Chain A
């Protein structure tokens, strides 16, 4: 009787955790609408150092959003860099190479000379060390 109850509780909590997990994944995988809009409008762009930058004049809301994303990116870089035995800057630069490659036409990115470029259908201008 007692073991049955424990088993039922364990099963119930496991199911609850699974459903919560499946609910949390799609929410994590998508960009915030404000971020998606800022990217599409070219108000933010991918920098060569692996972080997001503001193109043009910043507004307080835009600055807050970019700061928040960059803090979270930095946390990911730091964790993965440690796991890979690399420095934060090395990992961030590598991620920057890839993030610039993944920009879609119309989005902004930073060229190796530091200038902002609008992504066209042709490959972006990247650091010669990028994979």
Chain B
């Protein structure tokens, strides 16, 4: 059993990456990158129907009830276009 270190030591700057104690880490990282390139891609499909932004969603029922009487009269007064 090896003693677990609290923090992993950084790779020394003057050493060649694929040799020495840090080589294992580098190999692992490269394997992970290879795996991502092969099958780990996230594909996003565009929706077939157009995206509709509903602008009327914020209108409250309270406002509609307040305007209903006036709107009814406006429709009656302009019956040719309703």
A36 to B35, CA, bound (A): 66
| Bitwise interface map of A from 1 to 36 toward B, beta carbon under 8 Å scored 1, else 0 | 000000000000000000000000000111110000
A41 to B56, CA, bound (A): 29
Q: Given A84-B70, A89-B59, is A94 in contact with B82 using a C-beta cutoff of 8 Å?
A: no
B71 at the interface (CB under 8 A from A): yes
B positions within 8 Å CB-CB of A: 52, 55-56, 59-61, 63-68, 70-72, 74-75, 78-82
Interface pair A94/B56, CB less than 8 Å apart? no
Q: Given A86-B63, A97-B64, A129-B59, is A91 in contact with B71 using a C-beta cutoff of 8 Å?
A: yes
Most buried by A among B60, B66, B79, B82: B82
CB neighbours of A114 from chain B (8 A): 52
Cβ-neighbour of A29 out of B61, B63, B68, B79 (below 8 A): B79
A63 to B60, CA, bound (A): 32
Interface pair B80/A93, CB less than 8 Å apart? no
Cβ-neighbour of A131 out of B55, B56, B64 (below 8 A): B64
A positions within 8 Å CB-CB of B: 28-32, 48-49, 69, 72-73, 76-77, 80-81, 83-84, 86, 89-91, 93-95, 97-99, 102, 114, 128-131
Q: Which residue of B lies closest to A36 (CB)?
A: B80
CB neighbours of A81 from chain B (8 A): 67
Classify the secondary structure of B's interface with A. Answer: helix
Q: Which residue of B lies closest to A99 (CB)?
A: B82
Interface pair B79/A95, CB less than 8 Å apart? no
CB neighbours of A48 from chain B (8 A): 56
A32 to B79, CA, bound (A): 10
Cβ-neighbour of A94 out of B52, B67, B79, B80 (below 8 A): B67
A72 to B71, CA, bound (A): 15
Measured between C-beta atoms, what is the minimum distance from A7 to chain B in Å? 34
Interface pair A131/B68, CB less than 8 Å apart? yes
